[in-house]
């Protein structure tokens, strides 16, 4: 698979400061090295930030119409290269082809379209009494993105920042840099001015840390683990930077008595296993009342067994490998911990799936009789592992749902949507789907508590990259 040998800085592909220091890109299904990319250093980051600061004045001064035209060309580039995007995501992430097409390819186009719609209508100026308040670009943006949704997370940060008038330096996850390089090529082909967008590949501990702490960066937007988010926030705080942190989750899927149990369980299992369970907003805790509990466990086990791991290039595959050997072992260890702490293993387990000698595969796993204090009910696993918990009544269900350090997403099911909505309004989480409500790329996405600060998507995502100036008359 073709990869660039340098970083995209100031409108061109430039050699890395240390040309021989490379990162292997590994296909999770075959364990083969499919490409290498530069392991960026602090010097590469400094060059990228310098280019962004040099471009800041001119990009800030562009009109709404000029930004709309450039970002429309970029959106059209994403839409016009779906086959290449899908093939790249399948190869470096291991996402099943159908999922790659429906989510990893199509969702970024939908998000980009939403950004264009917001930009076209956004009011950058308003009257407040005797004041005129202006929404101004917040400055150079550091975008540090994860591997689980490599293109979506790039688009959700970079396009709103550019729409706001901010130049960007992107440091993508080291597991999935090829998708980021594709995006940089789309930016180049769209004709954005040099320095408005810059890409440095590298390790989070080196390039990511240098970018988050760089004095020339004004805003840091990071998506990843809560542990790394704390370090990012601390580094940004040294220079009084603004931060937006979209971090971990341990979301609850609450099935209230009288709900359509079959649909709720089926959708819940699918949500928990989406992208191999490598989704920060996954509903990894299913909460079921005592009267429905045994039936729900039986249903979940049967549904989970339909997610047989397999070759991600096969269109019939629903569950691909995890992204790396490290991630595979992490998930298997959580499964072993669940068994050791007394949860009932209904299906799955830590053993390798039968017939898959190569690849970073994990069996789809369902635990029953999970107690709220168990490790698998408290910590983010990031794999195809579902915990089913029992509750006595609605108040007990709410106590369990909110009894977590996280608060990113969730689901509520009830025969009466108003009952579900009333329950959801008391959940301490940023986004809740009622009876399987569809994802909305214009709605705010972000979390409470340890799930982060700030919001992405829609006008909320644009506002993260704006600051206000008030003139009094």
pLDDT > 90? residue 3: no
CA angle 380, 383, 387 (to 5 degrees): 65
Q: Average of pLDDT values for 367-393?
A: 98
Please say whether the beta carbons of 185 and 177 come within 8 A.
Answer: no
CA angle 147, 69, 101 (to 5 degrees): 35
| DSSP result, 2-26 | ---SEEEETTEEEE-SSTT-EEEEE
Q: Average of pLDDT values for 393-407?
A: 98
pLDDT tens readout for residues 204-248: 999 999 999 999 999 999 999 999 999 988 888 888 899 999 999
Q: Which residues fall within 8 angstroms of residue 162, CB to CB, at 6 or more apart?
A: 59, 67, 70, 71, 168, 192, 196, 197
Token pair of 451 as six digits: 């799930």
Neighbours of 330 (CB within 10 A): 15
The torsion angles phi and psi of 332, rounded to 5 degrees, stand at -60, -35
Domains by residue range for the chain, with CATH = 6-247+451-472 (3.40.605.10), 252-440 (3.40.309.10)
pLDDT tens readout for residues 253-285: 999 999 999 999 999 999 999 999 999 999 999
Catalytic residues: 246, 280
pLDDT > 80? residue 45: yes
Q: Average of pLDDT values for 403-418?
A: 98
> What's the residue count for the chain?
473
Neighbours of 463 (CB within 10 A): 19
pLDDT tens readout for residues 325-357: 999 999 999 999 999 999 999 999 999 999 998
Please say whether the beta carbons of 201 and 181 come within 8 A.
Answer: yes
Q: How much of the chain exceeds pLDDT 70, in percent?
A: 100
What's the pTM value of the predicted model, to 2 decimals? 0.97
pLDDT > 80? residue 2: no
Supply the pLDDT for residue 109.
Answer: 98
Supply the pLDDT for residue 236.
Answer: 81
Please say whether the beta carbons of 333 and 383 come within 8 A.
Answer: no
pLDDT tens readout for residues 162-221: 999 999 999 999 999 999 999 999 999 999 999 999 999 999 999 999 999 999 999 999
pLDDT > 70? residue 1: no
| DSSP result, 185-196 | HHHHHHTPPTTS
Please say whether the beta carbons of 265 and 286 come within 8 A.
Answer: yes
Beta strands in 247-333 (DSSP E): 252-255, 285-289
Supply the pLDDT for residue 237.
Answer: 82
């Amino acid at each position: 698979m073709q990869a660039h040998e340098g970083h995209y800085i100031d409108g061109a592909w430039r050699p890395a400061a240390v040309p021989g220091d490379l990162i292997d890109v590994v296909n999770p299904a075959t364990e083969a090295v499919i490409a290498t990319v530069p392991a960026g250093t602090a010097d590469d980051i400094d060059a990228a930030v310098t280019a962004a600061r040099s471009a800041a004045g001119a990009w800030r001064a562009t009109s709404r119409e000029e930004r709309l035209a450039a970002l429309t060309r970029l959106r059209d580039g994403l839409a016009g290269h779906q086959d290449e995007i899908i093939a790249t995501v399948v190869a470096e992430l291991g996402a099943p082809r159908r999922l790659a097409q429906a989510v990893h390819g199509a969702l970024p186009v939908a998000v980009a379209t939403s950004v264009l719609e917001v930009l076209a209508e956004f009011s950058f100026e308003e009257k407040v009494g005797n004041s005129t308040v202006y929404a101004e670009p917040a400055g150079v943006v550091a975008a540090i993105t994860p591997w689980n949704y490599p293109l979506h997370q790039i688009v959700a940060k970079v396009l709103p920042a550019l729409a706001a008038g901010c130049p960007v330096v992107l440091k993508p996850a080291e597991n999935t840099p090829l998708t980021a390089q594709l995006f940089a090529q789309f930016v180049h082909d769209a004709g954005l001015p040099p320095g408005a967008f810059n890409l440095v590949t590298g390790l989070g501990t080196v390039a990511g840390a240098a970018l988050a702490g760089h004095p020339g960066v004004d805003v840091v937007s990071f998506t990843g683990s809560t542990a790394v988010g704390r370090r990012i926030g601390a580094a940004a705080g040294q220079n009084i930077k603004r931060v937006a942190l979209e971090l971990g989750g341990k979301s609850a899927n609450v099935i209230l008595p009288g709900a359509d149990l079959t649909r709720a369980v089926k959708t819940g299992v699918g949500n928990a296993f989406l992208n191999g369970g490598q989704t920060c907003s996954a509903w990894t805790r299913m909460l079921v009342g005592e009267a429905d509990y045994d039936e729900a466990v039986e249903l979940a086990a049967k549904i989970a067994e339909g997610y047989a791991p397999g070759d991600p290039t096969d269109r019939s595959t629903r569950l691909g490998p995890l992204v790396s050997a490290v991630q595979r072992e992490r998930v298997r260890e959580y499964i072993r911990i669940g068994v050791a702490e007394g949860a009932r293993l209904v299906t799955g387990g830590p053993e390798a799936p039968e017939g898959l000698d190569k690849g970073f595969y994990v069996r789809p796993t369902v635990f029953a009789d999970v107690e709220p204090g168990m490790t698998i009910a408290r910590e983010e696993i990031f794999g195809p592992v579902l915990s089913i918990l029992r509750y006595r009544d609605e108040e007990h269900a709410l106590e369990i749902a909110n009894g977590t350090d996280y608060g990113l997403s969730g689901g509520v099911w009830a025969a009466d949507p108003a009952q579900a909505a009333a329950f959801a309004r008391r959940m301490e989480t940023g986004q809740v789907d009622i009876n399987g409500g569809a994802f909305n790329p214009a709605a705010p996405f972000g979390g409470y508590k340890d799930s982060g600060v700030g919001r992405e998507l829609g006008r909320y995502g644009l506002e993260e990259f704006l600051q206000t100036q008030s003139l009094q008359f």
